[in-house]
Structure 1
């Protein structure tokens, strides 16, 4: 009996040791996967930043019918938009357009919406000047048709910004001066201060301390 107990104890100790080794291997594997995922996120972030940098001087025009640039070119469309919406800006000299073109066709060629026009300006400050004027006017038109002027960003950055749209509209109706900061942070004014949130989780944590804001954003977070 004594020998059997010793044998059983030895086997249990051996089994525990093997289990411990397996647990260590599992933990090492999980740690390696976490490091790999972190590296992938870092690389994706760098690629997104590079893509956005290449688009730094670009303006994206949304809502222009496909046939409008025929004859005068896509460059002429932006010039007409400036003349129609910002006549004082149109009087300034030096706004140089390097190139302008429609976004490529996607697989669904039967879509009802027109492809966007991408305009590349020679100077970043001219792009900012135009977009600032657009934000100040709020409602833009082209030959009476509503349009939008926005900065041109990578698809990943656009998707991240799109996640804020519902919350942005609610805050905008409350005159809380919301803005989307690069790459995809939300800022707004509350209690006389500007608060910035890089993601929804940070905003959720902040909202729990502000009952009035919690009521405003009910159903959006």
Structure 2
């Protein structure tokens, strides 16, 4: 039996070299990678540092803007409250002014329909005589009323075909002014030299508009009584009920729903 060849021993030199190279590579990697990581971090920090500063500045400005907006909101709320208070006060003052103006006119009356030029430079005496002519007699005026003054409402003569300028006159005694109004209502249609004459209270422009708006609500429904109260209130009596309105639209709604409801 031939002898077996001897076993070859491993090449220990080559294996040792590979292990040494691997260990050296590991050492290099351990040394280089942390340094590269550190350098990379530093570079990133340097790169983002301006951005961070900008973001910080932006955040500061944003907080300032938020504080400014909050301050503006507070100021706006304060102004809105003040505006509401001032609007309420203005309305009250306007009502007081209008009331004072109408109290100052409480002895005034207007006459509409008097032809131009009849007064001939003496409007006060002319109107006093006119009132005595149309309201004098039994149960009427015993003498021409005492007037403080009288004048046309405008100095400009109306054009032909236009409405005549009304006379405004002030009665010296309030009771006599009330009597003139009462006699005018009782007599109904008034005429002077063949012309129809109308006598009205002399209200302010605002009050006249408010009363005119309520006048438009009047209807001729059977069983319904209307009354226009001072300063501008509409009284409606219907089926034993009495309703008082200052708003024309609410008065119309009441008439349409309670007095003249739509047929079903």
When normalised by structure 2's length, the TM-score is 0.63
Q: Which residue of 2 aligns with 1:193?
A: 241
Q: Out of 74, 78, 82, which is 2:131 matched to? A: 78
* Shift, 1:56, TM fit: 0.9
Q: How many residues end up aligned between the 2 structures?
A: 205
Asked if residue 41 in structure 1 is aligned to residue 91 in structure 2, the reply is: yes
Distance 1:192 1:95, change over 3 A: farther
Q: Deviations over 1:135-187 (max 9, x none)?
A: 2343322233222111111112112212122113x2xx236332222221112
Q: Deviations over 1:63-101 (max 9, x none)?
A: 111123337623222222213xx75212x3584333222
Distance 1:87 1:105, change over 3 A: farther
Q: Which residue of 2 aligns with 1:56?
A: 106
Larger Rg: 2
Q: Look up the SS of the partner of 1:104 in the other structure.
A: coil
Q: Which residue of 1 aligns with 2:201?
A: 151
Q: Distance in 2 between matches of 1:174 and 1:26?
A: 52
* Shift, 1:127, TM fit: 1.5
Q: Which residue of 1 aligns with 2:152?
A: 102
Q: Look up the SS of the partner of 1:177 in the other structure.
A: strand
* Shift, 1:35, TM fit: 1.6
Distance 1:200 1:153, change over 3 A: same
Q: Which 4+ stretches in 1 moved above 6 angstroms?
A: 7-16
Contact kept? 2:110, 2:166, Cα under 8 Å: yes
Unpaired runs of 5+ in structure 2? 1-51
Greater relative CO (CA pairs within 8 A, separation 6+): 1
Distance 1:79 1:160, change over 3 A: same
